[in-house]
């Protein structure tokens, strides 16, 4: 092999190795005993211009890409994985049997398991733009060079393509300066570092290795970091003080290496409950929002059924919608099928009460107000009253609502996009991980669904338990709903998902099939909108989790609320 060819191939190998190098660079070893070291350590980003290894290797797997979140200008490094059970799994919107195409956009959904927080996963999407990888330019340059006769031209062509491959590859540089332990006085380690070429806010992380690199530890999780730990938003000199965990580090002596890189912070864990303060009433310009991690001591007071409105966080997941074939009271339109909800949401802990509705709209449409009416569910409200009969009637084409509608007032005064749940969201929230007829984990206790049922009576105000003590009106007037929250809640703390009043959902009435669906929105058009849960007038079979009913969107009747 000629010297020129050897030189060119060496350049290719060197550049290819650089493109697949690790994103953490370690310092040289130093004694963990107080000695001082001074060394520059440069930490480049990997795959700076967002290329796909498939363009060189011919494989769709093991991709490393730069991604931009949909709602942010922040650039982050995304690594794909082929293990669906691995924490931080990414699902792409391309056919696994095809290849990523350069100069194209792709969307991925990232599922991050929230450690220590039950229930489950947080999901969000990012758009990724794939460009040709730098190594491709190198190979093209080498190929061109072999067709040129003069060695000087060959070298110039290679260098030109190397430069082209490096376009846009400039990365943030983190230089570790003085790094030393404050020995013999204490075990703290001082880490000085300098950030340059910063183009965006970076979150800095440090590592250390011992035992000749056999043991590696993340300093964000082991020991205590104080000082300039980020986020870093400007170039400059920074200092971090690491206080090692005494128990963990008691036996660590000798050579230690310090590593540094940048990371993307995990999104904050959502609070379990969100509370909207309606106490200022219908004239308020805004309703304050607060968050709670748990139910208040003593439970939900009457205020949460009158002048406050409380919502429960519900994590996105996949569940089975519909009824099993052997479920008592099952109807033909309750076909069992898998449903995936990709977005988490908050849903009311209680049905909207008459007092809450008046606090927002300054109107009182309910027929059954009577005893404790303020804390009983609002009824005689139609779908059109909640969302509007013009813009609000366009679902699923869009989620607009009419000016002056209940939801428009809520959205304007909270700056949050409140809406009715879809039928799938409603059933998912009602079930709260159960697959039984009732969200208590029980099925109907009677052979048929049209007679008094002890299990239904536990969770639902229905047609057979009006004299159970939750309403004390005169007997012939007892066929009414009652105060919200009187019956057994589900495992997510949601009340009256069965019975009391039927609850409006967004969807047009549709026919279910056994096919798996994602984020279903119901039929494209129709005559009736879905209502769920049954009411105080309903037989137990219509109060089940899977039971599907419907009503004309302009119907405002005494057994339907939301």
> Which of the pair, 2 or 402, is modelled with greater confidence?
402
Task: Give the per-residue pLDDT at 45.
Answer: 30
Taking only the tens place, the pLDDT of each residue in 311-320 is: 999 999 999 9
Instruction: Return the closest-CA partner of residue 88 out of 50, 123, 119, 60.
Output: 123
Taking only the tens place, the pLDDT of each residue in 127-168 is: 444 444 444 444 445 555 554 455 545 444 444 444 443 334
Work out the percent of the chain whose per-residue pLDDT is above 90.
Answer: 46
The dihedrals phi and psi of 390, each to the nearest 5 degrees, come to -110, -90
- Residue identified by tokens 């792409």 is 92
Taking only the tens place, the pLDDT of each residue in 103-120 is: 455 444 444 333 333 333
Paired with 181 in beta bridges are 189
Convert 22-55 to b/e letters by CB count within 10 Å (16 or more is b). Answer: ebeebbebbebeeeeeeeebebbbbbbbbbbbbb
Task: Give the per-residue pLDDT at 253.
Answer: 65
Per-residue confidence band for 17, with pLDDT thresholds at 50, 70 and 90: very low
Q: What is the residue-averaged pLDDT of the chain?
A: 74
Distance of alpha carbon 94 from alpha carbon 105, whole angstroms: 10
> Which region among 1-15, 214-228, 300-314, 393-407 has the lowest average model confidence (pLDDT)?
1-15
Sign of CA dihedral 453, 458, 464, 469: positive
> Which region among 80-84, 221-225, 414-418 has the lowest average model confidence (pLDDT)?
80-84
Distance of alpha carbon 352 from alpha carbon 562, whole angstroms: 6
Distance of alpha carbon 316 from alpha carbon 425, whole angstroms: 9
Whether 22 has a pLDDT exceeding 50, the answer reads no
544: its two tokens: 């089940």
545 close to 320: Cβ distance less than 8 angstroms: no
Model-level pTM greater than 0.75?
no
Distance of alpha carbon 176 from alpha carbon 260, whole angstroms: 8
3-class secondary structure, 259:
strand
462 close to 539: Cβ distance less than 8 angstroms: yes
227 close to 240: Cβ distance less than 8 angstroms: yes
Give, to the nearest 10 degrees, the angle between helix 151-165 and helix 134-146. 170
Angle at alpha carbon of residue 295, lines to 118 and 540, rounded to 5°:
80
Task: Give the per-residue pLDDT at 221.
Answer: 62
Per-residue confidence band for 544, with pLDDT thresholds at 50, 70 and 90: very high
Task: Give the per-residue pLDDT at 303.
Answer: 96
Task: Give the per-residue pLDDT at 511.
Answer: 86
Task: Give the per-residue pLDDT at 248.
Answer: 59
- Cis, bond preceding 244 (omega within 30 deg of 0): no
If you ran DSSP here, which 8-state letter would residue 475 be given? G
> Which of the pair, 214 or 552, is modelled with greater confidence?
552
Whether 413 has a pLDDT exceeding 90, the answer reads yes
> Rounded mean pLDDT of 451-466?
93
Radius of gyration, CA atoms only, the chain:
31
Element (H, E) at 104: strand 104-113
Taking only the tens place, the pLDDT of each residue in 320-369 is: 999 999 999 999 999 999 999 999 999 999 999 999 999 999 999 999 88
Whether 71 has a pLDDT exceeding 60, the answer reads no
Q: How far is CA 185 from CA 29, 33, 414, in A?
A: 21, 10, 55
Distance of alpha carbon 170 from alpha carbon 166, whole angstroms: 8
Task: Give the per-residue pLDDT at 172.
Answer: 74
> Rounded mean pLDDT of 66-90?
36
Work out the percent of the chain whose per-residue pLDDT is above 70.
Answer: 64
360 close to 410: Cβ distance less than 8 angstroms: yes
CA 40 vs. chain centroid, Å, equals: 39
Taking only the tens place, the pLDDT of each residue in 462-517 is: 999 988 877 645 555 568 899 999 999 999 999 999 999 999 999 999 888 999 99
- The full DSSP string for 173-224 is EEEEEEEEE-TTT---EEEEEEEES--S-BEEEEEEEETTTTEEEETTTSSE
The distance in angstroms from the start CA to the end CA of the chain is 80
555 close to 382: Cβ distance less than 8 angstroms: yes
- The full DSSP string for 109-131 is EEEEE-TT-TT-EEEEEEEEEEB
């Amino acid at each position: 092999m000629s010297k020129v060819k050897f030189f060119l191939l060496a350049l290719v190998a060197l550049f290819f190795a650089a493109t697949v190098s690790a994103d953490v660079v370690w310092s040289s070893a130093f004694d963990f005993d107080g000695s001082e070291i001074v060394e520059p350590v440069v930490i480049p980003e990997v795959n700076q211009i967002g290329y796909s290894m498939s363009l060189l290797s011919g494989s769709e797997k093991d991709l490393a890409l730069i991604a931009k979140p949909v709602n942010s200008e922040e650039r982050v490094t995304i690594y794909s994985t082929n293990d669906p059970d691995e924490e931080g799994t990414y699902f792409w919107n391309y056919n696994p049997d095809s290849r990523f195409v350069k100069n194209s956009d792709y969307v991925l959904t990232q599922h991050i398991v929230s450690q220590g927080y039950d229930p489950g996963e947080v999901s969000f999407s990012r758009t990724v733009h794939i460009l040709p990888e730098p190594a491709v330019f190198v190979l093209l340059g080498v190929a061109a060079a072999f067709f040129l006769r003069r060695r000087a031209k060959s070298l110039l062509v290679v260098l030109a393509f190397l430069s082209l491959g490096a376009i846009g590859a400039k990365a943030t540089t983190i230089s570790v300066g003085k790094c030393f332990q404050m020995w013999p006085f204490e075990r703290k380690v001082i880490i000085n570092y300098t950030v340059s070429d910063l183009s965006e806010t970076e979150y800095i992380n440090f590592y250390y290795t011992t035992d000749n690199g056999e043991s590696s530890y993340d300093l964000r999780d082991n020991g205590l970091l104080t000082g300039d730990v980020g986020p870093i938003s400007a170039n400059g000199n920074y200092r971090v003080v690491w206080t090692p965990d005494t128990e963990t580090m008691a036996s660590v002596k000798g050579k230690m290496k310090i590593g540094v890189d940048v990371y993307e912070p995990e999104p904050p864990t959502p609070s379990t409950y969100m509370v909207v303060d309606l106490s200022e009433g219908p004239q308020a310009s805004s309703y304050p929002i607060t968050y709670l991690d748990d139910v208040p001591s003593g439970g939900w007071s009457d205020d949460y059924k009158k002048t406050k409105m409380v919502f429960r966080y519900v994590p996105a997941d996949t569940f089975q919608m519909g009824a099993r074939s052997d479920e008592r009271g099952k109807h033909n339109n309750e076909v069992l099928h898998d449903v995936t909800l990709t977005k988490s949401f908050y849903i009311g802990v209680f049905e909207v009460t008459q007092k809450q509705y008046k606090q927002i709209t300054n109107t009182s449409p309910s027929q059954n107000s009577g005893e404790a009416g303020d804390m009983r569910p609002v009824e005689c409200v139609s779908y059109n009253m909640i969302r509007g009969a013009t813009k609000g009637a366009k679902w699923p084409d869009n989620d607009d609502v009419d000016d002056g509608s209940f939801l428009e007032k809520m959205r304007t005064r909270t700056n949050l996009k409140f809406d009715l749940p879809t039928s799938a969201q409603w059933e998912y929230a009602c079930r709260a991980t159960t697959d039984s007829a009732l969200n208590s984990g029980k099925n109907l206790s009677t052979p048929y669904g049209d007679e008094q049922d002890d299990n239904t009576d536990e969770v639902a105000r229905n047609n057979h338990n009006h004299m159970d003590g939750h309403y004390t009106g005169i007997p012939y007037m007892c066929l009414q709903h009652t105060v919200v929250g009187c019956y057994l809640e589900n495992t997510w703390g949601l009340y009256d998902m069965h019975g009391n009043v039927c609850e409006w959902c967004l969807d047009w009435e549709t026919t279910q099939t056994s096919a798996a669906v994602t984020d279903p929105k119901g039929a494209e058009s129709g005559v009736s909108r879905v209502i769920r849960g049954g009411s105080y007038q309903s037989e137990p079979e219509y109060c089940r989790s899977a039971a599907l009913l419907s009503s004309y969107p302009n119907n405002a009747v005494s057994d339907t609320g939301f």
